Amino acid sequence: MFLTFDGVKKLNRRTGNIFLGVMPIAKLKLLKMDTIEVQTSNNDLVIIIYDVLVNYSIDELMVTNPILQFILPAADDTDEYPVLFVPRNNYLPNYCETGLMECEIFSLLIEKSDKLSANSTKLLTINSLQDILKRFNTLQIIDEEWPLLKERLVDYIKTLVSTYPHLGYLPVSERRNFKSISVADASFAWDFYFRFFIDSWSNTTTIVIPELSKEFHYENWVGDFFSRNNPFWSKYVGKRGKFLINAADREFIYQIWREWMKGA
């Protein structure tokens, strides 16, 4: 299905073809677009997700298969609203991020600036989280399943944090003590937790929580996988004790960890 929208401006964004316009509710109703979140409305902004950008010239936008993220606001037909157009192939991570940041026990762990301080109670910068969530672009999922995916992702994170409190908020002194003995709260570990969710979703919609307390066996050592005493990590630690893990290393380590978790 092709639809054309006028009075639209392309935004200067590094993430791709994102557009903004202003339209009356009556015009949006006439388009009779399907909706992803049929139980939720956004009274400040109308978000339209599209498949393919067919054409954009001056202020006219043509796209395929546009769909509303939320139901339209309950407003007078003449009321105008800002309308944001985002490409579907980049939007699922943003959609998941919104759900996660609405979850207080998780949003408390996210630093909005680009860097974590040594005395921070945060575990991830927003940029690190967004990089991790890009993995959701690999999911083969229909629009109607997006709300269920977000709901189960949030439930998964809540359960993970409640089961393993060291992944939740800790005061500065406790967080520093934990970091001195484990990397279970490091950004690469969080990448593993999110990938584990994605792998579980890909195989079944029944979500499994990784058993982080399961003992890991390596050579003659037995203990927690993420323990700094685990000799497995020795080849990935630099002279100052900082972990040096590139993309290939991360993939290799994740596969080992995932296989260990699958046997739990």
Q: Say if residue 62 is in the same domain as residue 107.
A: no
pTM of the predicted protein model: 0.85
Q: What domain count does the chain have?
A: 2
Last residue of a domain, one of 58, 88, 118: 88
Token pair recorded at residue 261:
């978790």
pLDDT for the residue 89: 79
Distance (Å, rounded) from C-alpha 100 to C-alpha 158? 10
pLDDT of residue 85: 95
Residue 253 domain-assigned (yes or no)? yes
Cα–Cα distance for residue pair 64/126, rounded to 1 Å: 31
**What pLDDT does residue 264 have?**
55
Query: Same domain, yes or no, for 36 and 106?
Result: no
Residues 61, 188 within the same domain? no
- What residue numbers bound the domain in which 218 lies? 102-262
Closest to 133 (Cα-Cα) out of 105, 100, 156 = 100
Same domain, 83 and 190: no
Evaluate whether residue 97 is within a structural domain. no
Distance separating alpha carbons of residues 108 and 214, to the nearest angstrom: 27
Looking at residue 204, its pLDDT comes to 67
Q: Is residue 163 part of a domain?
A: yes
Mean pLDDT by 10 residues, the chain (264 residues): 91 85 95 88 90 91 94 93 90 92 95 89 95 91 89 95 96 95 95 94 78 91 94 87 88 94 75
Q: Supply the DSSP symbol for 37.
A: E
Instruction: Specify if 94 maps to a domain.
Output: no
- My answer on whether 109 and 56 are in the same domain is no
Which pLDDT does position 20 carry in this prediction? 96
- The Cα-based distances of 178 to 83, 227, 240 in angstroms read 45, 10, 18
In a domain, 172, yes or no: yes
